[in-house]
Amino acid sequence: MAASPWKSELHWRLDGQQDRSSKTQNKLLDAAESLFFLDGYDATSVADIARKSGFSVGSVYHHFKDKKAIAFALFDRMTGEYAVTAKEACAPERWNGATITDILKGYIHFSIVNNRERPGFKIAALEAVRLDPSLGTHFQKLQIQLHRGLQILLLDRRSEIGHPDPEFASAYALDLLTALLRVRFDPAANDAQLTKLNEKQFRLHAISLCMSILQLERKLT
């Protein structure tokens, strides 16, 4: 397969020109994201975030009212990055000439690489949902949009699908893939068999299951 559109350009981060204040805020959020993931929200103090970021406690309070405000800022940053990246990733023109297997392989690879590079990306930001459950609805809508975007890409290639109900099969395959990735990335699921597979084994296992559901005839490579 040629270089995947998932592997080039896309990442869960909005880069671009930033003023000095924005750069400082992002460094503080990066530190909080890492600490919330490693130690948990409750065990992390503002002093810990300052120390991790290399800034003073006063600098933290200059940009954020308190630790709760940091959690909400992380959620806002994460959902903003998620929305933009998902839209770009599911743009049909990115996938000209790609097969269903190419798309699924690329999505799994993208998810694994980004989780490895930023393991706390979703988990740290979702602390905000715990603090304010109403935010969960917004995040759920973003996940649904990504899921639907992927399904449209698959259904645009329905001639590859052997299942008699492509709509059902594509939705089911993506639901399964989402569940597999969630278990794979959940630090609390370290006893699950999926977490014991190396990345290549996990990709092959996940793709094989999706291919079976969709009844694809293409062989794995």
Contact 154, 205 (CB under 8 A): no
Q: What radius of gyration, in Å, describes the C-alpha atoms of the chain?
A: 19
What residues contact residue 206 under an 8 Å CB cut-off, 6+ apart? 104, 108, 177, 180, 181
CA distances from 173 to 88, 177, 181, 185 (A): 21, 6, 12, 18
pLDDT at residue number 18:
58
Q: Mean pLDDT lowest for which of 49-53, 108-112, 147-151?
A: 108-112
Cβ atoms of 207 and 105 closer than 8 Å:
yes
- 99 CB-contact burial (10 Å; exposed 0-12 / middle 13-18 / buried 19+): middle
- Res 34: pLDDT: 92
In the predicted model, what is the mean pLDDT of residues 100-114? 90
Q: Mind listing the pLDDT tens digit for each residue in 38-53? A: 899 999 999 999 999 9
**Arithmetic mean of pLDDT, 16-33:** 83
Out of 13-27, 126-140, 165-179, 205-219, least confident range: 13-27
Q: Tell me, what's the pLDDT at 14? A: 47
What's the pLDDT at 7? 45
Largest CA distance in the chain: 62
Given a cut of 90, whether residue 150 has pLDDT beyond it is yes
In this predicted model, what pLDDT tens digit does every residue of 126-145 receive, in sequence order? 888 899 999 889 888 988 99
pTM (global) more than 0.85: no
pLDDT of residue 1: 39
What integer pLDDT is reported at residue 218 of this predicted model? 56
User: Between the CA of residue 121 and those of 85, 156, 210, what are the distances in Å?
Assistant: 13, 30, 26
Give me the phi and psi of 77, to 5 degrees please: -65, -45
